[in-house]
Structure formats: structure tokens, C-alpha cells
Amino acid sequence: MSLADGRGTPAFEAVGLARSYRLDGGVTVDALRGVDLRVEQGEFVAIVGPSGSGKSTLMHLLGCLDRPTSGTLRVNGVDVATLDDSGLADLRNRTIGFVFQSFHLLARTSALDNVALPLVYRGVPRAERRERARRALEAVGLGHRLTHRPSQMSGGEQQRVAVARALVGDPRVLLADEPTGNLDSRNGEEVMGLLERLNEGGVAVVLVTHDAEVAARARRRIHVRDGRIERDA
């Protein structure tokens, strides 16, 4: 049970959430099957489960990167079914920060401009977005790497750039998909420590992981199997 049950608008609220995919040959795969889920503002949640369990599908739906086949999903109180693609992209840009296992940084672009990129889509003036990106990089300990490109940084530094990019828009929630998956233990520890500090500052963190040690650091663990929530504690 959430520690903040009933206090304000939840970060995510899903009722009967389902997602099916039609494959070649007319075969239908049910990736999610009627998931009910509520994540409060400020929670730290790990979504865990074996390969093919539906945890990544759930993450994509929560992040408004995909639409459910059926059921209801509200993100920060907004029913995603009421939004067209443009509205969905705007909700995603203004509400959610993303951190991926593979960093997804622009190879020929400086750390500063990688971090500033989400603000371009908001129409933030160049000087302001660069200043906000600088502050975000300083917050993750990379104020000395502003002009470096990804190839000039370690894996741990690249992931911290990705975290700064996720935070530059002041999101209500950060979604992290295997955030330590490509990192050694030391860099993984640094990134997890950073996520914990962000959560202590009020940002809700929802991460997908197969690593039991990473999952154990979350205050709530949601176990997914065969497209359903098997356990939530």
C-alpha cells in the first residue's frame, strides 16, 4: 500500500489497463491484462518481473510512449484517452522525465545541448534553456563537463547526463528503464544514489529493473508476471 494513499492527485492511476499487439499471421499477444495501479506523487517504485512479463509495456504506457488497448490511464490526473498525439506529447514533455539503459544521447552534441533538448520542444528561449541545462548538469555533478560530447565521457557520466536531461523540465515523475543496466557496480551505485536524492527532493521515481539489489532500494516493489501484477508491496 502507498504511504501517501488518498493525498492529492496521483502521479499515475490505471484501472483495467490492457495492451495487446497483433503480430504477423493474425496472432494476438496480450502484453498487459487488466492492470490496476496507483502511484502517488513522491513515491519510489520498482517494477520487476521476468523477461516477457509485461513490465516494459507497462513502463511505455505510463510514459505515454504508447496507448492502451483498453482500460483507463490517468497521468497527473489527465485521462490519456482524451488527448490526441500532440496533447500526449505535450503531457509527456511537461510531466515525465525519462532515463533509459542505453542513454540515448546525441553523439555529436555537447552535454549542455543534450540536456537542453527537451526545452527546445517547449519553445524555451535559447539563453534560458542553456542556463537551465547548466544548472541540471551541476546538480548531477557534471558542471565541469558542459562542452564534452558523449564519446568523451564514461558510461556513468553519460547516464548522469541522461538524468540531467530528464530533470531539466522539472518533471513530476521520473521513469527509469534499467538505469544501471549498462554500468559497472561503482557507476551504478552513483546513479542509484542520485535517483534516491532526487526522490527525497519530491520527484516520484518509477524504475524497471531485473536487478534484485536495485529493486530492493525502492520503497515499493511491483512484481509483474504474464501481463498482470502478481504482488505489490
Residue 115 lies in a domain: yes
Residue 29 lies in a domain: no
Residue 152 lies in a domain: yes
Other Cβ atoms closer than 10 A to 93: 16
Give the dihedral sign, CA 172/94/133/178: positive
pLDDT at 174: 95
Per-residue model confidence as pLDDT tens for the chain (233 residues): 333 343 579 999 999 999 999 988 889 999 999 999 999 999 999 999 998 899 999 999 999 999 999 999 999 999 999 999 999 999 998 899 999 888 899 999 999 999 999 999 889 999 999 999 999 999 999 999 999 999 999 999 999 999 999 999 999 899 999 999 888 998 899 999 999 999 999 999 999 998 899 999 999 999 999 999 999 98
CATH number of the domain enclosing 164: 3.40.50.300
State which residues form the domain around 136.
Answer: 42-67+83-232
Structurally, the chain folds into a number of domains equal to: 1
pLDDT at 65: 92
pLDDT at 25: 81
Residue 182 lies in a domain: yes
Which residues share a beta bridge with 28? 22
Q: How far is CA 78 from the centre of its chain?
A: 17
Full-model pTM: 0.87
- Say whether 115 sits in a helix, a strand or coil: helix
